[in-house]
Amino acid sequence: MRALTMTAAAIVFAASASFAAAQDHGAHAAQGKPVLQAFEHYEGVRVALSADKLADVAPHAKQLAATIEAAGGAEAKKHADALVAATTIEDARAHFGELSTILVPKFQAEAIPGVTAYLCSMVQKPWAQRGDKIENPYYGKSMLACGSPLPPKK
């Protein structure tokens, strides 16, 4: 019985160590790809704008601004910094739109699982988001479900 208990404990330990290593590998993979890192912070900004919550934009925008240059270059960094400093939801959305014009093609090229690109026909700007339910960041709650899927990049 004691041997069986020890064997079961060893199996549980090995399984949990394997699971932890897999999670750690996934985190390192995202850290190693600037586009994937950028998307995580971009998505936080998009969620805040979709919910009309300007106060929630800055924390995500700061993280995005700190990592964006490697994924999107100097122009993306300029708009990310302006997004951090935005004092109105309209300004935040304008800079998010410029940032999206630069980043969405990169997100599409990376083919991030579960991420879809859309176009807002009202402002003629793209955005990318996780999930199937459209959440338009350009008009927030007033036109949350408005947008058209963009074809995937090859």
pLDDT at position 42, please? 98
The answer to whether residue 6 scores a pLDDT higher than 60 is no
pLDDT at position 31, please? 52
pLDDT in tens, 23-50: 333 343 445 599 999 999 999 999 999 9
Within 8 A by CB and 6+ apart from 114, the residues are 130, 131
The answer to whether residue 68 scores a pLDDT higher than 60 is yes
125-130 and 148-149 beta bridge pairing: unpaired
Q: What is the CA radius of gyration of the chain?
A: 20
